[in-house]
Chains A and B, each alone.
Chain A
Amino acid sequence: MKNCNLIIAGVGGQGVILAGNVIGEAAMSSGYDIKKTDTIGMAQRGGNVISHLRIAQKIYSPIIVEGEADIVMSFEKMEAARCSNFLKSDGIVILNNRAIPPLSVSRGVEHYPTDEEIISILKQKADKIYFVEGTKKAEELGNARTLNIFMLGCLSCFLDIEDSVWRECIIKSLPSRIVGVNIAAFEQGIEAIKI
């Protein structure tokens, strides 16, 4: 695999950290060096979360420098825009079509960016933007919390990690009673990109 610098963004409670851990396990099982670090605000819940993942033969720093991310994958629309600074000029964005307005927006103090605004911010840097309906699909599966594994399905289309390794790592990371629905979400994620 070529080296990959991956940013995962989202809001506390969306499962960003777990998703990053599964990717880390999958990359390690595939023989790569991997370092991962999360930046989480002081907020217990509802703050933004950014995970940095670096996959290569040998890694020193876990942090991705601005302009060095191959992929930004965001579980929330505006958070993708917030991470645009990390993108390489030929970077890829995978974006869950879901808005979670912060309090300043729901209080009517600030304005939540429109889809056009978000796309225009990302277009300054990104080569390709994939809009996916992760939350919708997860809800249709009957468990909104499978969003993170759906997003892993999307991501798996861009990384050189065997399908069987992904599945193994997902199964290892989740309680057995919810493995089935999460595997279904993973498969839907793959489909969302392949279509």
Chain B
Amino acid sequence: MSVNKKLLSGNEAIALGAYHAGIKIAAAYPGTPSTEILENLSQFKDIYAEWSTNEKVAMEVGVGASYAGARTLVAMKHVGLNVAADPFMAVAITGVNAGLVVVTADDPGALSSQNEQDNRHFAKLAKIPMLEPSDSQEAYEMMITAFDISEQFDTPVLFRTTTRVSHSKAVVELGDKKETPGVKGVFKHNFQKYIMLPANARFRRPLVEERVKNLASYSETSSFNRIFKGDDKLGIISSGMAYQYAREVFPGASFLKLGFTYPMPENLIRKFALKVKKLVVIEELDPFIEEYVRSLCIEVTGKEFISIIGELTQDIIKKGSYSIGILAENEVKKTEYTAPKLPGRLPLLCPGCPHTGTFYTLSNLGQRSVLPGEKPREPKLIITGDIGCYTLGALPPLSAIDTCGCMGASIGNAIGMQKAGVDEKLIAVIGDSTFLHSGITGLIDAVYNKAKITLIILDNKTTAMTGHQEHPGTGKTAQGEETVAVSLESIVRAIGVKNIQLVSAWDIKALKNSVKTSIDSGELSVIIVSGACAVDLRRGVDPGIIDVNKCTACGLCLALGCPAIQKDGDMIIIDGSLCVGDNCRLCRQICPNKAISPDGARQSERISEEL
């Protein structure tokens, strides 16, 4: 029999593992580095996969499906589990019926997140088992085992990956798909198990502790917790991607590789510790393993020499190891080479981005933009922001966002500031997907508590930041079916907002008028700015061109922050390969000399999306 090998990313392997384990249902909300899991699962037409409105809903859908007898995968990024924590903690008590696996994709180094957090703590908090793959092969195998564990121990399983595991490709040897006869979902009524009235919750509480005990013995024999015998001078306990790095730095050492990291295998750890002269833990982020080992009164070190902050690298491990004397000096790279200083490539709103006009307007009204040769002015307005592509409106030259914490926060933050009595006018800015995810409740609060703020909803008809996923407002499901497009305007109206304006993202004058009248109205107001994401619009349009005879190089168009508008010596030019032409026209509207017009002569070659 030939082996079936594939080159898969961690996320592809997770999806395929779940599919081969016979899942029937998958639910997720997008978020880097987890997004590709559901994107891959949605390709399988014999299972049901949905983009949920947010992670809490995804978790609840998953719990329901599991109760009804369907193996289910729920996936999210690390901060998604904060949103989903309530149903997550609840299902940890009720347990499951069919297997339920929750993927948390952590982002050490906050490479594409608002924070860094080590979600391994969630397994301990919820008292449920956790698996931690260190490459795609393990991701695939562990996912299949995770469903068995879930059913054997009547528990959801936390499946913890990181950016580097999720997004690295490696060779995976695949098994066969588990044949799952198309049994219909059935819910077996069980008062004590599924209804967490206080009495029932108290009844199940000891069962949870019993479960942790049983899982701890399982952990001792799990094939994912393994000793690799090497030199007994140094013993290293490690998990996840950190294990791969440590293996390269210490090819000769003894290793205890942990893949089933909660509950931890006490006896295996004791056995390993006895066998080696010096014991260290090499793990990314928090001292999760180290603290446990220490709690067994075993002498160990870890965070003393490996940073608690950020993504690990072999270099960090090498330098740390040298500092405590477990690596020879000649093993550590001397950095006699200093990296050259080169211009960076900052993230920017794309050419033709529908968010640009709104932020240009806010930047002007809020006195944020600075023309060449001018001094910065005292900023006006307070603009609370949210998370999405539009967060880039915080960067120069626009500089038109003042806060950004977590999804949905813009509205509550603005209400709080207004109630605290600030003098400035308050504007909250939120994307369409984010508004549906967690903005609606904030707006209800604003109506109910008579907040006098202006909310701008940036409706680009997609979840752009994470790579253009469908959401409840787009009219399409994750698996490409047509569906009802939830209307933002109807929601806002139904909540009870009276002052609503609908504006085109491409009309600078209308944008300015709407913002001015809204903030001057002295009442709660909502502006819905509509314009489709530019990434789909790049082809077949006439780019703008600047007439050198009319242009005075005043630099006003540069204040848009459009990457297509560039300085070439003393002149300003438009890069025809970047401009989306008639699909935008913002610069043509703001040029005081009417120097910009479509370049009809050019059908230029465009840089567009990756194949």
Residues on A close to B: CB < 8 A? 11-18, 21, 24-25, 28, 33-39, 41-48, 59-63, 65-67, 78, 81-82, 84-85, 101-108, 110-113, 121, 124-125, 139, 144-145, 148, 174-175, 178
Interface 9-mer from B47-55, B97-105, B602-610: B602-610
In the complex, what residues of B have CB within 8 A of residue A106's CB? 563, 566-568, 575
Q: How far is the CA of A68 from the CA of B607 in the complex (A)?
A: 32
In the complex, what residues of A have CB within 8 A of residue B350's CB? 44-46
Query: Chain A nearest CB: distance from B259 CB in Å?
Result: 15
Can you report 9 residue pairs joining A to B where beta carbons are below 8 Å apart? Answer: A12-B610, A24-B7, A43-B346, A60-B247, A60-B248, A63-B314, A78-B342, A85-B337, A110-B343
Q: How far is the CA of A78 from the CA of B609 in the complex (A)?
A: 21
| 1/0 contact string of B327-340 vs chain A (CB within 8 Å) | 00000010101011
Q: How far is the CA of A105 from the CA of B567 in the complex (A)?
A: 8
Q: How far is the CA of A41 from the CA of B608 in the complex (A)?
A: 17
- The answer to whether B343 and A42 touch across the interface, beta carbons within 8 angstroms, is no
If A46-B345, A102-B346, A103-B563 are given as contacts, then 8 extra A-B residue pairs at C-beta distance below 8 Å, sorted by A number, are A14-B607, A18-B610, A39-B111, A45-B607, A63-B245, A66-B335, A106-B563, A121-B340
We find that the number of chain B residues with CB closer than 8 angstroms to chain A is 50
In the complex, what residues of B have CB within 8 A of residue A121's CB? 340
B244: interface (CB < 8 Å): yes
- The answer to whether B558 and A107 touch across the interface, beta carbons within 8 angstroms, is yes
- The answer to whether B558 and A35 touch across the interface, beta carbons within 8 angstroms, is no
- The answer to whether B343 and A112 touch across the interface, beta carbons within 8 angstroms, is yes
B204: interface (CB < 8 Å): no
Name A43's contact: one of B135, B337, B348 (CB within 8 Å). Answer: B348
- The answer to whether A11 and B343 touch across the interface, beta carbons within 8 angstroms, is no
Name B315's contact: one of A45, A65, A125 (CB within 8 Å). Answer: A65
- The answer to whether B343 and A111 touch across the interface, beta carbons within 8 angstroms, is yes
- The answer to whether A62 and B168 touch across the interface, beta carbons within 8 angstroms, is yes
Name A104's contact: one of B344, B575, B605 (CB within 8 Å). Answer: B344
B486: interface (CB < 8 Å): no
B611: interface (CB < 8 Å): yes
Query: Chain B nearest CB: distance from A22 CB in Å?
Result: 10
- The answer to whether B609 and A125 touch across the interface, beta carbons within 8 angstroms, is no
Query: Chain B nearest CB: distance from A103 CB in Å?
Result: 6
Most buried by B among A113, A125, A175: A113
B308: interface (CB < 8 Å): no
In the complex, what residues of B have CB within 8 A of residue A62's CB? 135, 164, 168-170, 244
- The answer to whether A37 and B164 touch across the interface, beta carbons within 8 angstroms, is yes
Query: Chain B nearest CB: distance from A89 CB in Å?
Result: 10
Q: How far is the CA of A85 from the CA of B535 in the complex (A)?
A: 33
Q: How far is the CA of A18 from the CA of B609 in the complex (A)?
A: 11
In the complex, what residues of A have CB within 8 A of residue B112's CB? 42
In the complex, what residues of B have CB within 8 A of residue A16's CB? 610
In the complex, what residues of A have CB within 8 A of residue B339's CB? 82, 84-85
- The answer to whether A11 and B345 touch across the interface, beta carbons within 8 angstroms, is yes
Name A44's contact: one of B168, B389, B569 (CB within 8 Å). Answer: B389
| 1/0 contact string of B109-138 vs chain A (CB within 8 Å) | 001100000000000000000000001000
In the complex, what residues of B have CB within 8 A of residue A105's CB? 343
Known contacts A18-B611, A60-B247, A103-B348; A37 and B167 CB within 8 A of each other: yes
Name A36's contact: one of B168, B247, B464 (CB within 8 Å). Answer: B168
Known contacts A13-B610, A37-B167; A108 and B567 CB within 8 A of each other: yes
- The answer to whether A66 and B333 touch across the interface, beta carbons within 8 angstroms, is yes
Name B611's contact: one of A60, A112, A139, A174 (CB within 8 Å). Answer: A174
Q: How far is the CA of A157 from the CA of B566 in the complex (A)?
A: 38
B517: interface (CB < 8 Å): no
Query: Chain B nearest CB: distance from A18 CB in Å?
Result: 5
Name A65's contact: one of B313, B345, B346, B464 (CB within 8 Å). Answer: B313
- The answer to whether A104 and B337 touch across the interface, beta carbons within 8 angstroms, is no
B188: interface (CB < 8 Å): no
B325: interface (CB < 8 Å): no
- The answer to whether B340 and A24 touch across the interface, beta carbons within 8 angstroms, is no
- The answer to whether A34 and B7 touch across the interface, beta carbons within 8 angstroms, is yes
Query: Which 7 pairs between the two chains have the least Cβ-Cβ distance?
Result: A106-B566, A43-B347, A37-B168, A110-B343, A62-B168, A108-B567, A36-B169
In the complex, what residues of B have CB within 8 A of residue A12's CB? 610
Q: How far is the CA of A21 from the CA of B8 in the complex (A)?
A: 10
Q: Which of B321-367 contact A (CB under 8 A)?
A: 333, 335, 337, 339-340, 342-348, 350
B309: interface (CB < 8 Å): no
Residue of A nearest to B607 (CB): A13
In the complex, what residues of B have CB within 8 A of residue A46's CB? 345, 348, 350, 563
Query: Chain A nearest CB: distance from B394 CB in Å?
Result: 12
In the complex, what residues of B have CB within 8 A of residue A48's CB? 345
Name B248's contact: one of A13, A61, A111 (CB within 8 Å). Answer: A61
- The answer to whether A67 and B248 touch across the interface, beta carbons within 8 angstroms, is no
- The answer to whether A24 and B169 touch across the interface, beta carbons within 8 angstroms, is yes
In the complex, what residues of A have CB within 8 A of residue B313's CB? 63, 65
Residue of B nearest to A174 (CB): B611
Q: How far is the CA of A91 from the CA of B575 in the complex (A)?
A: 35
- The answer to whether B610 and A78 touch across the interface, beta carbons within 8 angstroms, is no
Q: Which of B172-212 contact A (CB under 8 A)?
A: none
